[in-house]
A and B are shown apart, each in its own frame.
Chain A
Amino acid sequence: MSEFIDRAVVEQVARLARIHLSEQQLDASSKQLGEILNYVGQLERVTLPDDVEPFFGAIESVNAIRADEVNSSVDRDSILSNAPDSDGEFYSVPPVF
C-alpha cells in the first residue's frame, strides 16, 4: 500500500468530518494518514475462520431497561450557560444558508 493517501480522498474525509484543513494540513494529513493506514493495513493479512463474529464492546449484555419514570435532570439555564450563543431558551446558530 502507498504511504500517501490521495489528496482528493483526504479532502473528502475532511469534508465528512467537518474540519477545515489548509492546503499545508491536507498535504501533511495525506502523508500521516497514509503511514497509519499502511500500518493498520496488516489487519487485512490476518486470516480468520469465517465464523468469527465481530466483537464491538467489552460487555455483550442485552438492552439495559429501567422503569419509565420522570426524574429531575440538569436545568436548562445551567446547560445553556455553556452555549456560545442562545436566546435563553434555545441554542442560537448562524443562518443555515
Chain B
Amino acid sequence: MEISNLGASELVSHLSAGHLTAVDCIQYFLQRIEQTNQSLNAFVNISDTALQRAREIDARRASGKPVGPLAGLPIAVKDGICTSGLKTTAGSKMLEQFVPPYDATIVRRLIDADGIVIGKTNMDEFAMGSSTEHSHFGAVKNPWSLDRVPGGSSGGSAACVAADMSPVAIGSDTGGSIRQPASFCGITGLKPTYGRVSRYGLIAFASSLDQIGPMTRTAKDSALILSVIAGHDVKDSTSAKNDVPDFTRSLEKPLTGVRIGICREHFDEGLDPEVESCVREATKVLESLGAATCEIHLPHTPYAVATYYVVAPCEASSNLARYDGVRYTYRAAATDLEQMYCQTRAAGFGDEVKQRIMLGTYALSSGYYDAFYLKASRVRRMIKHDYDQAFGEVDLILGPTSPTTAFSIGEHSHNPLAMYLADIYTVSANLAGVPAISIPAGISASGLPIGLQLQARSFDEGALLQAAHQFQSVTGWHATKPPLYQGPQT
C-alpha cells in the first residue's frame, strides 16, 4: 500500500479495516523521518516507544478488543507541549534537559484515542517567532524550498506534515503560529476558538491568546483530530464547557446560503499581488459552491499588530518569570541568588525571547502601564467589537493568511518589526478569541504555497471545516506535494 498518499482519515480507515498494521504505519513514518529530518530539522526528538505502542495496538486489535478512534495513527507534537517522559524543550536552551512528569491534556486525549506520539517538532523558542529560525536547535527549512523559512512558530509541525514525515502534527497558535506556517508549507492548519481546547501542559507564552490546534493535509483530517482534543478540562479553568460536536459529521453540508465576508482591510497595501489574485480566485471557487460573498470591514485591523505586540510580550514577561534557575533544569553558575537569576536568564534565553520579556516588562512597569497595556487592552475590545459586528452580517470572514509566501532564511533577522508584520492578518483572531483556519489555495510562480484564511464565530469551527472541506473537494492544492518530498521514489 502506498502510505505516502494517505491522509490521517484514510490511514485510520485502512488501519481499522486491517489493510495496514500500526507497526507498518509507524515504521513507514519513522523511516521518512530518518531520510528527511537531516535536511529539514523539523523534529527535535523522536519517540523511542512509538513502535512498542504500535505493537500493543495491533495486538489489541487482533485479539478483538476495542481500540480508540485514532488507533495506530502517528502524531507529531510541537515541542512546547508536555509529553510525559519525553523531553520537551520549547526550542529553548533553558529547557534543553526538561522531561515533563506529566502529559498535556491534549496528549493524554490523543493517547487515550490510541494515537501514537511519534516525536516532538522544532519551534521558535517559547513560540516567539514567525519563521522557526529562533530555535536553540537550529532553523527549520521549508520543504518547498530549502532556503526559505517554513513560517513559525509551529514551523517544525508544518514542515513535517508537508514533507510526509507525519500525517498529523499538533501546533499552538498565539498570533498565527499554526496558520502562517500552514500557509507557508501548503498544509491545513486550524486555530480553534480560545477555550475550545485545554491548554493544560502547553508551555505558556501569552495565556489569553495561546490555543492548541491540528495541522494536517486536509480539513477532514483536522476535523478528526479536533473532535478528539476539544472539550472542557478541569485542569484548565479557561477551557470552555460548550458541547463538542463530531466535527467530521458536518463536512459534506453544501455551502448554499453560507455568507462569506471579504475583509477589505486584508487587501490593503503590503499584500503581494500574486497572493491577492490567488485569494480572489479562491473566493470564486467558494461562490461556485453556493456561498454568497460581500465586502465587510474590520476597521481596527490596522492596529492589531501593535495591540498584539503589547499584550503578548506583557503576558510573556509574566509567564516566563518562572525560568529562574530554581525548578526547570537549567542553572548558570553563580555565587548568590540574585546573580543566579540574572545569569540563568541571560544564558538560558535566546535574543528574541529576552527582547520580548524586556518589552513586556517595560510596558507593564510603573508609569507606562496606562499608555501601553491598558490602552492596548482597550483597543483589543474594539477589535473584538469589529468581529461581533461583522458576524452579525456574515458567517465566515475570508482573506489571505499571510501577506507573502515564505520568505528567505535570514531575510528579517536584523529587523524584528518586519517579521512581526508577517502576522498582520492572523493576530486579530487571537485577540478576539475567534477560530480560524488556513488552507492551501495556490502555488506562486516561484513554486511556493499560498494560504487562504477563513475565520468564524466563536465555537463555530464546524463552519470553518465545512467550507474548507468543500473547497478541498473541488480543488487539488491540499494534495500538491513539495517536489523535493513526494514520498519514496518508485
Contacts and interface: CB of A to CB of B under 8 A. Distances in A.
Interface of A: 5, 9-10, 13-14, 16-21, 25, 29, 32-33, 35-37, 39-40, 42-44, 46, 48, 52-59, 61, 64, 66, 74-75, 78-79, 81-85, 91, 93-97
Given A40-B306, A43-B307, A55 B380 contact: yes
B101 A40 contact: no
A94 B195 contact: no
Contacts of B361: 13, 16-17
B240 A59 contact: yes
15 contacts: A13-B362, A17-B358, A18-B321, A29-B355, A39-B306, A40-B309, A40-B372, A53-B381, A55-B377, A57-B238, A58-B384, A59-B433, A85-B331, A91-B327, A95-B337
Interface string B398-428: 0000000000000000001100100000000
Contacts of B300: 46
B309 A55 contact: no
Contacts of B374: 54
Interface stretch (B162-170, B215-223, B342-350): B342-350
Contacts of A93: 325-326, 337, 340
B417 A44 contact: no
A59 to B, nearest CB: 5
Contact of B416 (A36, A57, A58, A82): A36
A74 B379 contact: no
A40 B416 contact: no
B461 interface: no
Interface string B234-245: 100110100000
A82 B99 CA distance: 7
- The residue in B101, B365, B382 that gathers the most chain A C-beta atoms within 10 A of its C-beta is B101
Contacts of B341: 18
Given A82-B327, A83-B327, A46 B101 contact: no
Contacts of B349: 19
Contacts, number: 164
B432 interface: yes
B362 A33 contact: yes
A95 B339 CA distance: 10
Given A53-B381, A54-B374, A64-B237, A21 B99 contact: no
- The residue in A16, A17, A42 that gathers the most chain B C-beta atoms within 10 A of its C-beta is A17
Interface string B293-324: 00000001001011101100000010001001
Nearest to B381: A55
Contact of A19 (B357, B382, B433): B357
A41 to B, nearest CB: 8
Nearest to A82: B329
Contacts of A75: 101
A32 B420 CA distance: 13
A13 B358 contact: yes
A29 B416 CA distance: 12
Contacts of A18: 321, 324, 338, 341-342, 345
